[in-house]
Amino acid sequence: MTETRIPGSFRDPAGYVFAEEGRLFRRILPAGREDFRRFTESGLAGKLIEGRRLVPFTPLTEEKDGSLLLRLEALPFISYPYEWSFSQLRDAGLLTLELMREALRHDLILKDASAFNIAFRGGEAVFLDHTSFTVCRENEPWRAYRQFVMHFLAPLVLMKKVDLRCLSLFRADLGGIPLDLASRLLPWTTRFNPDILFHIHLHARFDRRYSADTRERKIPPMPKKRLENLIRSLQDCLGGLDISAQNTQWADYYEHTSYSDASFRFKQERAEAFCREISPRSVCDLGANTGVFSEIAARHAGEVIAADIDPQAVERLYALSRKIRNLHPVLLDLNNPSPDLGVFNEERRSFLSRCRCDLALGLALVHHLRISGNWTPEQIARLFGSVAPNALVEFVPAEDVQVKRLMRGREQVYTDWTLDHLLAAFRPYYANYEIEPIPDSPRSLILLRQK
């Protein structure tokens, strides 16, 4: 078997992940063998798998050099922390802490606390890294404490206290949000909160104070009970964070639309019929908003990726994904989708390279791309053509009240915004199309089918 490592799996001397013919494997190297043995023999691995908190694995072969091969359960879609909603990041952080407490009960400890070790399956956070557990030595502090704060607590507190858009800082630094930056960005009053004061402000100060210190410092011992209390304080702090009071532009879109009941019902019925006809394995709902059409698609598809630019809308998609377990929420700005990132731009894949589906939905979306984003009709067609061989797109013409509002004062710039022009742009990507006018509305649905 040729073992081509997944590009993001190269930092850990204990092992790596590779894919072969669509199946996923993990190689545990001799350096990680002992820790992995303790992890499985302590009963922790089995307990976590049973509780759906760890990706299941099957041991396959053991090599002469002592390395071990595991077959892993592949997840249908991987999203990255900078594509999550607030609650997703919080739940991922809480899972990390829960695993840490569970590990301590088995005399083990998490040696890292990266948010990239977590994925979402059926609306639940699940831990991916089977080589993150090691033996807990007596009185040793948690080496991953700073990483935990940088990956989870700092972005969450910034989103809560400053702005939800602070999550995008994570995309600029895959190592997490630097503590000095987080401390500087947070309001002065957060120093009165003991959790934020210790875990972020003082943490940043200590980090700065000792970063250039070459003297050998004696680290005070950390009894297990005290470490458990530190984890408990982090759990209390994370568990108490929520953003329900923060308003955003699109979260209540469907409460203020120009659709009549008849036209909205028609859209839903047509979307359902088209999904039934295509019977896709996977659907990508671009501009999913709160997931009305993603929910319809999920009834007929294996998996649905529901992407939206609005953090509160993705928050609702996450809540929906707990009920509709084949729905995957993604926070995504189509004007600047997640690119290839990390070492050699290979560690984290771009959104568009991960999003290859059988059907793409673009309902009440493309006029925003054309008018607010200044995309050309050809770029709009290219987006759908690169995502899926079938598409359902809503065309909103220049005479629509919403489009008039968007175009105000710039009408002469968008003279090409016609149904004919858009259809011509779609022609290179799709073999045939159908137009269905939406009743009580100047809008139309375009049903595009593969070549």
Partners of residue 393 on adjacent β-strands: 362, 446
Residue 1 binds to other proteins (criterion: CB under 8 A): no
| 137 is a site residue for other proteins (CB under 8 A) | no
Verify binding: residue 146, other proteins, rule CB under 8 A.
yes
The verdict on 143 binding other proteins (CB under 8 A) reads yes
CB closer to other proteins out of 177 and 396: 177
| Contact pick of 94, 135, 230, 273 for other proteins (by CB under 8 A) | 230
The residue within the footprint of other proteins, chosen from 6, 75, 198, 272 (CB under 8 A), is 198
Positions 2 through 41 that interact with other proteins (CB under 8 A):
11-14
Exactly one of 85, 96, 131, 338 binds other proteins (CB under 8 A); that residue is 131
Q: Please identify, using beta-carbon distances, which residue of 235 and 444 lies nearer to other proteins.
A: 235
**141 lines the binding site for other proteins (CB under 8 A):** yes
Taking the complex as a whole, how short is the minimal distance between the CB of residue 57 and other proteins, in angstroms?
18
- Look up residue 411 and give its two tokens: 């009408």
Contacts for 371 with CB less than 8 Å, ≥ 6 apart: 403, 406, 407, 414, 417
Binding mask 231-260 for other proteins (x = CB under 8 A): -xx---------------------------
Among 68, 85, 90, 112, binds other proteins (CB under 8 A): 112
From residue 157 to residue 176, the character string flagging contacts with other proteins as x (rule: CB under 8 A) and all else as - is --------------------
Instruction: Please report whether residue 203 would count as binding other proteins according to CB under 8 A.
Output: yes
Instruction: Rank residues 113 and 446 by Cβ distance to other proteins and give the closer one.
Output: 113
Q: Hey, is 243 helix, strand or coil?
A: coil
DSSP string, 34-102: HHHHHHHHTSHHHHHHHTT-B--EEEEEE-TTS-EEEEEPPPS----GGGS-HHHHHHHHHHHHHHHHH
User: Which stretches does DSSP call E strand in 114-196?
Assistant: 118-121, 124-127, 133-135
Choice from 39, 120, 142, 266 touching other proteins (CB under 8 A): 142
- Residues binding other proteins: number (CB under 8 A): 39
Residue 160 or 199 having the CB closest to other proteins:
199
Burial class (CB in 10 A: 0-12, 13-18, 19+), 40: middle
CA atoms within 13 A on the CB side of 165: 6
> Helix, strand, or coil here: 123?
coil
Two tokens at 32? 């990680």
In 150-290 the beta strands, taken as DSSP E runs, fall at 282-286
Q: Of 230 and 319, which has the nearer Cβ to other proteins?
A: 230
Q: Do residues 81 and 150 touch, judged by C-beta distance below 8 A?
A: no
Q: Counting contacts by CB under 8 A, is residue 294 touching other proteins?
A: no
Establish if 222 lies at the interface with other proteins (CB under 8 A): yes
| Amino acid (1-letter code) at residue 227 | L
Q: Which of residues 60-79 bind other proteins (CB under 8 A)?
A: none
Classified as helix, coil or strand, 266 is: helix
List the one residue from 18, 25, 39, 145 that touches other proteins (CB under 8 A): 145
Whichever of 219 and 245 has its CB closer to other proteins, that residue is: 219
State yes or no: residue 194 binds other proteins (CB under 8 A): yes
Of the residues 90, 106, 111, 160, which one makes contact with other proteins according to CB under 8 A = 111
In the numeric block, the tokens 């008849």 are attached to 262
**Residue 119: closest CA among 329, 297, 309:** 329
User: How many Å apart are CA 74 and CA 126, to the nearest integer?
Assistant: 12
311, 86 in Cβ contact below 8 A? Answer: yes
Stretch that binds other proteins, among 17-25, 210-218, 327-335, 418-426 (CB under 8 A): 210-218
| Residue 363 in the binding site for other proteins (CB under 8 A) | no
Which lies closer to other proteins via its Cβ, residue 175 or residue 437? Answer: 175
Instruction: Considering the complex, state which of residue 230 and residue 424 has its C-beta at the smaller distance from other proteins.
Output: 230
Minimum distance from residue 258 beta carbon to other proteins (Å)? 52
Which stretches does DSSP call E strand in 251-326?
A: 282-286, 303-308
Indicate which single residue of 6, 202, 341, 424 sits in contact with other proteins (rule: CB under 8 A).
Answer: 202
Residue 194 and residue 179: Cα distance in Å, rounded? 16
The encoded tokens of residue 445 equal 């649905």
55-77 core/surface letters (b: 16 or more CB in 10 A; e: else): bebeeeeeeeeebbbbbbeebeb
Residue 187 sits in the site that holds other proteins (CB under 8 A): no
Binding of other proteins by 316 (CB under 8 A): no
Binding of residue 210 to other proteins (CB under 8 A): yes
**Residue 83 to residue 86: CA distance in whole angstroms:** 10
Contacts to other proteins by CB under 8 A: 11-14, 111-112, 131-132, 141-147, 194, 198-199, 202-203, 206-211, 213, 217, 219-222, 225-227, 229-230, 232-233
